[in-house]
C-alpha cells in the first residue's frame, strides 16, 4: 500500500469535523428559525414606509406648522390607549410627522399626523409584525428561557462558522481546489449541487455571518456589550442620566419645533430628527437624534444632542458615555444591515437567506452520506463465493 496516497486527517481536523456535524444537527431547527426571523426583519423599515402610503405626506404645505405639543395632544386624544414613545420629524416640508406608539393588545404601531392641520392621517400597525419577529428572533417570545436557548444556539452558530471555514480551507491550492471552493457545479447531480450550496455559499457568507453573530451576542449579553464599548473607549452605562436636569413644572419648556429647527440648522446634511417622548413629563432635557435615515433600531450617520428643556442650552455628556451611545448604534447598524445603506441591507438579506439554508443543506449532506455507508455495508449475495487468498 502506498502511504503517500492515504494521508490521514489530524486529530484536530477530526474533532473539528465532528463538532461541525453534531453541533449543527443538534441546533439545526433552532438556527433555521433564528436566521429566518432575522432575515424577515432586514427590510422592515422599507415595508413600514411602503405601508404608510399617502399618509407619509401632508395634504398641503403651509407657511406655518402647528406646535408639536398640539400634535401630541391630538394623538393622545385620538388614541388614548396608545402610549407615545418617540416622534420623528423630516426635513422635507411635505412629510408628515410620525409617532411611534405602543398599545396593550395592539402592540407597536406608527401614527402619521399632518403638521399643518394636526389631522391624524393613519394609524398603521404593520410595525407590530416586525416587533413580533424581533422578539421571536431573540427569545421565541419566551422571556428568560427562550433568550438562553437562542443565545446558546447563537454561540453554537459562531462555532459552526469557524469550524466550517476550517473544513472549507483546501489543503492545497490549485485549479481543481479553487473551482471546488469558489464555484457551484449547477449541472452536477443533486448531491453535488447541495454540497456546493453548503460549502461555497457558506464561505461567501462567512464574514458577514460572523459580524451578524458577534453583534447578536453583544446585544444579548450586557457584560459583552460593556466590554466591547470599553475596548473602543466608550461606556454604555446610563449613570449620566442621574445628572441630567429633571422636569420643573414651574418653568415653560422650549417648543419642540424650535428644537428640531435648531438641530436641522446645526446639521444641514441630516434628513430626519427624532425625540424620545416616553420620559417627556419627567425629564428636564430633550434627547435628539438627527440622521440621514432613522430606522426601528438604528440610525444612519447619527448625531446625538442633549438639550436643556427650559434654556435650550447644550448639555455635555461625559465623553465616554457619548461615545458609548455611538458604539451601541454602530452595533445595531451592523446587526440590522444599515451599515452601508441599500447595499448593506441587500448583503445582509442575502446572508440571512444563506444562513437559513446552511442547516438544511448540511443535514442533507449527512443524510446522503449515511445512506451511502449503508449501501456499502450490504451482505454478500448467495451467488458470491469467497476465495481464500
Give the integer Cα–Cα distance in Å for 30 and 160. Answer: 13
What does the pLDDT average to over 191-215? 97
Give the integer Cα–Cα distance in Å for 193 and 184. Answer: 7
For residue 23, what pLDDT band results from cuts at 50, 70 and 90?
very high
Question: Cell 422636569 belongs to which residue?
Answer: 247
What does the pLDDT average to over 128-156? 96
pLDDT in tens, 96-108: 999 999 998 889 9
Q: What is the pLDDT of residue 377?
A: 62
pTM higher than 0.85? yes
For residue 383, what pLDDT band results from cuts at 50, 70 and 90?
very low
What does the pLDDT average to over 302-315? 96
**Quick check: helix, strand or coil at residue 272?**
strand
Give the integer Cα–Cα distance in Å for 151 and 219. Answer: 10
- Alpha-carbon distances of 381 from 95, 373, 374, 385, 388, rounded to whole Å: 80, 18, 15, 9, 17
For residue 368, what pLDDT band results from cuts at 50, 70 and 90?
confident
Give the integer Cα–Cα distance in Å for 135 and 150. Answer: 11
**Quick check: helix, strand or coil at residue 91?**
coil
Q: What is the pLDDT of residue 1?
A: 43
Which cell is 149 given? 436557548
Q: Across-strand partners of 189? A: none
Judge whether residue 379 has pLDDT over 90.
no
Judge whether residue 382 has pLDDT over 90.
no
For residue 2, what pLDDT band results from cuts at 50, 70 and 90?
very low
pLDDT in tens, 205-250: 999 999 999 999 999 999 999 999 999 999 999 888 889 999 999 9
Question: Mean pLDDT for the chain?
Answer: 92
pLDDT in tens, 25-59: 999 999 999 999 999 999 999 999 999 999 999 99
Amino acid at each position: 500500500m502506498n502511504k503517500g496516497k492515504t494521508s490521514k486527517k489530524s486529530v484536530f481536523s477530526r474533532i473539528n469535523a465532528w463538532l461541525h456535524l453534531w453541533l449543527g444537527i443538534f441546533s439545526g431547527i433552532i438556527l433555521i428559525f433564528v436566521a429566518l426571523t432575522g432575515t424577515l426583519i432586514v427590510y422592515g423599515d422599507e415595508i413600514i414606509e411602503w405601508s404608510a402610503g399617502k399618509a407619509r405626506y401632508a395634504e398641503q404645505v403651509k407657511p406655518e406648522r402647528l406646535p408639536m405639543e398640539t400634535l401630541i395632544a391630538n394623538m393622545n386624544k385620538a388614541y388614548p390607549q396608545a402610549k407615545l414613545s418617540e416622534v420623528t420629524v423630516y426635513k422635507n416640508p411635505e412629510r408628515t410627522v410620525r409617532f411611534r406608539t405602543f398599545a396593550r393588545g395592539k402592540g407597536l404601531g406608527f401614527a402619521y399626523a399632518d403638521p399643518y392641520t394636526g389631522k391624524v392621517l393613519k394609524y398603521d400597525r404593520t410595525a407590530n409584525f416586525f416587533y413580533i419577529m424581533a422578539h421571536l428572533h431573540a427569545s421565541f417570545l419566551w422571556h428568560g428561557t427562550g433568550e438562553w436557548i437562542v443565545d446558546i444556539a447563537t454561540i453554537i452558530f459562531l462555532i459552526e462558522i469557524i469550524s466550517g471555514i476550517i473544513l472549507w480551507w483546501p489543503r492545497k491550492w490549485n485549479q481543481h481546489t479553487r473551482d471546488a471552493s469558489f464555484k457551484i457545479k449547477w449541472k452536477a447531480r443533486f448531491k453535488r449541487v447541495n454540497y456546493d450550496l453548503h460549502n461555497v455559499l457558506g464561505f461567501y457568507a462567512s464574514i458577514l455571518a460572523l459580524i451578524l453573530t458577534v453583534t447578536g451576542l453583544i446585544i444579548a449579553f450586557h457584560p459583552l456589550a460593556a466590554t466591547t464599548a470599553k475596548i473602543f473607549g466608550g461606556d454604555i452605562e446610563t449613570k449620566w442620566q442621574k445628572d441630567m436636569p429633571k422636569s420643573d413644572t414651574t418653568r415653560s419648556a422650549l417648543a419642540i419645533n424650535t428644537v428640531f429647527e435648531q438641530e436641522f440648522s446645526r446639521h444641514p446634511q441630516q434628513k430626519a430628527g427624532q425625540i424620545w417622548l416616553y420620559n417627556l413629563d419627567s425629564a428636564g432635557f430633550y434627547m435628539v437624534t438627527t440622521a440621514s435615515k432613522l430606522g426601528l433600531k438604528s440610525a444612519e450617520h447619527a448625531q446625538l444632542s442633549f438639550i436643556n428643556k427650559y434654556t435650550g442650552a447644550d448639555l455635555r455628556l461625559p465623553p465616554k458615555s457619548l461615545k458609548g451611545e455611538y458604539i451601541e448604534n454602530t452595533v445595531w447598524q451592523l446587526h440590522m444591515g444599515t451599515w452601508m445603506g441599500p447595499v448593506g441591507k441587500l448583503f445582509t438579506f442575502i446572508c440571512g437567506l444563506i444562513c437559513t439554508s446552511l442547516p438544511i443543506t448540511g443535514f442533507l449532506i449527512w443524510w446522503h452520506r449515511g445512506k451511502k455507508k449503508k449501501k456499502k455495508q450490504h451482505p454478500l449475495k448467495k451467488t458470491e463465493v469467497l476465495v481464500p487468498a
